[in-house]
A and B are shown apart, each in its own frame.
Chain A
């Protein structure tokens, strides 16, 4: 504290109870997870579980799938979110406000609803395949991507795009439209205005929204669970299947530790970026 001779002396005491509660229900359990990851079922303390998990193809596969799905979804959300927010903010149409409000409501729904809807749309007996078989007389429809990583990618882009749009819309509302009018009257085409005026102004919001979505995608569980795809395993899914389906707690804890390290590292990055953006 740099407040001089007499800091408010009771303030740290008042902060103790909530910190103690959080410590008991969150930090202490996390510490136990780390401890358990070093304690195989056979007893003793060893890194055996780590060696075992790191050597298994299932883990490497899950790590690779998690990372590329998260990066791919984030890229999709950024492009789509930027385009949609651009239209809402700068080429407004009647009802654009309602669309913006709809996005806020959309954020309060759980993610697995999207996968549920996609099952109706593109599932094996869903609408798209039904239309195809109805039109061509074929026995099976061509849409099988739902149980592949692409289905998860589509669901994640759909669900997380609003998370990018919200900070973008806030950033766009801070841009003076006279700037755009001036650029336009000087002969700049819309593409150039977007590139040279709007994009630089919205870079911080894009960075903040993008890194948040990256973390959320890495941690996403409901969407993957609902596709019911045996071939798509991400890190959270691996934690679940090891702990609940196989009762391999040391293994689950190892995957959990890896997942936490990646996510918390990225989230730290997000906090730094968004603080810069907010400042």
Chain B
């Protein structure tokens, strides 16, 4: 306890709440409240309605939600495959080679997402691989953006892995493939699911690269939210944003349940 006098402590706590609530809690509350309102120009929203949700869960918007979900799942799986493979392969390398591999895989975080979008657009709008106008260009861009996070979180977990397990398995005659499949991957399962959750959340909210290259028939939810607010339908935009947040939190919760079950095993 840094501050001992009771009065000073209350002063600090009050200051904390005065800063914290308007900055962090209020924005989320405002988005939530406005998604149920028909009008908001005073202190409180007026006109309770669930109409925005009715609009947000049918037609174009429902399609945007499934688009986002499919994109996020596909991109996360691709990222997890490549990121985990790179992390496992990197662990077996020497120090310098591993550092180079780490740098290479972390690079997409440093490059602006808009530029990643531009680069993927430029590269796959021309032969030999033509993906422009298909949903695969969106999957690809999202996978590139989230692979770095999958790689980082898995390679951090590999370092903490106790080598005694795999050594014991190998000394009992298990082949490398068996050791990988029956020992290492199960031990890594908690961090794999954590990485999957992170990738999923990032891909669900991805806007920058998507704006550069989404085809007209594959518009993810963030793009739909932007389109709604851009034409002035702020309330529809918030309903869509609440749908986005809810979907993200639900999947994250489900993933963390898998994780706790995996770590109890």
Contacts and interface: CB of A to CB of B under 8 A. Distances in A.
Interface of A: 1-3, 7-8, 11-12, 14-15, 17-19, 21-22, 25-26, 28-30, 32-33, 36, 80, 83-84, 86-87, 90-93, 99, 102-103, 105-106, 108-114, 116-121, 123, 125-127, 129-131, 134, 157-158, 161-162, 177, 180, 184, 190, 193-194, 215, 218-219, 221-222, 225-226, 228, 235-236, 239-240, 243-244, 249, 252-253, 256, 259-260, 263-264, 266-268, 271
Interface in B76-96: 82-83, 85-86, 88-90, 92-96
A116 to B, nearest CB: 6
Interface of B: 1-4, 8-9, 12-13, 16, 19-20, 23-28, 30-31, 34, 40-43, 82-83, 85-86, 88-90, 92-97, 101, 103-116, 118-124, 140, 143-144, 147, 198, 201-202, 204-208, 211-212, 222, 225-226, 229-230, 234, 237-238, 241, 244-245, 248-249, 252
A161 B42 contact: no
Contacts of A108: 198, 201-202, 205, 248-249, 252
7 contacts: A109-B245, A112-B225, A119-B234, A127-B40, A158-B27, A225-B226, A256-B118
A15 to B, nearest CB: 4
Given A18-B85, A19-B86, A243 B93 contact: no
Given A256-B118, A260-B115, A116 B229 contact: yes
Given A2-B94, A3-B94, A108-B201, 4 more contacts: A108-B205, A113-B31, A123-B234, A158-B23
B207 A252 contact: no
A231 B55 CA distance: 33
Given A29-B119, A87-B16, A18 B86 contact: yes
A118 B114 CA distance: 23
A32 B121 CA distance: 10
Given A108-B252, A236-B112, A33 B118 contact: yes
B211 A240 contact: yes
Nearest to B234: A119
A26 B120 CA distance: 7
A185 to B, nearest CB: 10
Judged by DSSP, the binding face of B is helix
Contacts of A264: 107, 110-111
Contacts of B201: 108
Of listed A92, A99, A120, residue having the most chain B CB within 10 A: A120
A137 B230 CA distance: 29
Given A18-B89, A83-B19, A112 B112 contact: no
A91 B3 contact: yes
Contact of B118 (A114, A243, A267): A243
Given A108-B248, A184-B4, A116 B119 contact: no
A236 B13 CA distance: 39
A190 B114 contact: no
Given A22-B82, A126-B41, A259-B115, A105 B249 contact: yes
State the 3 A-B residue pairs at the shortest beta-carbon distance, nearest first.
A110-B205, A117-B27, A267-B110
Nearest to B20: A84
B143 A236 contact: no
A119 B40 CA distance: 11
A260 B244 CA distance: 30
A130 B31 contact: no
B216 to A, nearest CB: 13
Given A22-B105, A108-B201, A219 B94 contact: no
Given A91-B1, A125-B41, A116 B234 contact: yes
A110 B68 CA distance: 13
Given A18-B85, A32-B123, A117-B28, A253 B116 contact: no
B134 to A, nearest CB: 15
Contact of A194 (B2, B86, B89, B124): B2
Nearest to B5: A190
A1 B97 contact: yes
Nearest to B205: A110
A11 to B, nearest CB: 4
Nearest to A123: B234
Contacts of A14: 85, 88-89, 92
A26 B107 contact: yes
Of listed B13, B111, B121, B234, residue having the most chain A CB within 10 A: B111
